[in-house]
Amino acid sequence: MSESADIRIAPIGITGRPTPDGNDASGLLDAIGAAAEAGADLVLLPQLSFSLYFPALRDREGLELGERFPSPRMSAARDAAAGSLLAATAYECEGEGVFYVTGELGSAAGGTVLSQRQHHPEAAVGRYEQMFFSPGHEERTVVGLPWGRTGMLIGQDARCPNAWADLKRAGAELVLVAVSETADGWQGTRRIASGFSTVHGIPVCAVNRAPAPDEPDFAGGSFACDSSGSEVTADQNGLVVLSIPESGSES
């Protein structure tokens, strides 16, 4: 009988709306805190976790949302997560005119354990990501955690087969996906994630940006599948429980 380790993931589709005084107007921090209290090992947030999806508009004012890392908004979210790990993405300003969408996995106590930039900014009607951030070029990596080696994919990277293959080669045993998709894009992302899981025997958990009054077109929702590609639904507390096969227990 194969041995496995379980992880309880809370995928939260809400995205932050910081106010000028530094407070959160969206309820995101409260939702993160509630997930931690419910027993989440890890809280997963969508692409651009702490702002509107500003690449929807050709408005360069979106550049003003860039943050020097360590991100204050990321830090506030980690504090809200208490003892749980947080996987979230922020709009990073590395220097004058240099921006990335950067995902981090970490906690308030332990700091950042994994950092991964989005490699493929999207260019389509209503998705002008190439205007706002550069592609990441660093090697895709994973981090060893109690349940297994974990990697991240952000935005359009989740629809790139080579990105999934890179994580497989890196030894991923769990892949976390953070996107901002309308219904058609979300359906495609789910298909790709399920196919990857089936072929490589690696569990996946994905979260999509929830619709909001100021951006109603996003589909929201979450998706998870186990190492056989079978869908796993959330429990009554909103937690997805995935069993991660131990290294060597899957062929």
Angle, nearest 10°, between helix axes 161-169 and 183-200?
30
The answer to whether residue 130 is domain-embedded is yes
Residue 107: helix, strand or coil by DSSP? strand
The answer to whether residue 59 is domain-embedded is yes
Residue 122: helix, strand or coil by DSSP? coil
The answer to whether residue 248 is domain-embedded is no
CATH of the domain at 123: 3.60.110.10
Q: In terms of residue numbers, what domain contains 134?
A: 4-243
The answer to whether residue 179 is domain-embedded is yes
Q: What angle do CA 9, 190, 128 make, to 5 degrees?
A: 100
Say if pTM beats, i.e. exceeds, 0.75: yes
Q: What is the pLDDT of residues 71-108, one digit of tens each?
A: 999 999 999 999 999 999 999 998 888 999 999 999 99
Task: Return the pLDDT at 20.
Answer: 64
* Cα–Cα distance for residue pair 161/146, rounded to 1 Å: 27
The residue with greater pLDDT, 26 or 141, is: 141
The answer to whether residue 220 is domain-embedded is yes
Residue 249, pLDDT above cutoff 50? no
DSSP run (H or E) holding 4: strand 4-11
The answer to whether residue 165 is domain-embedded is yes
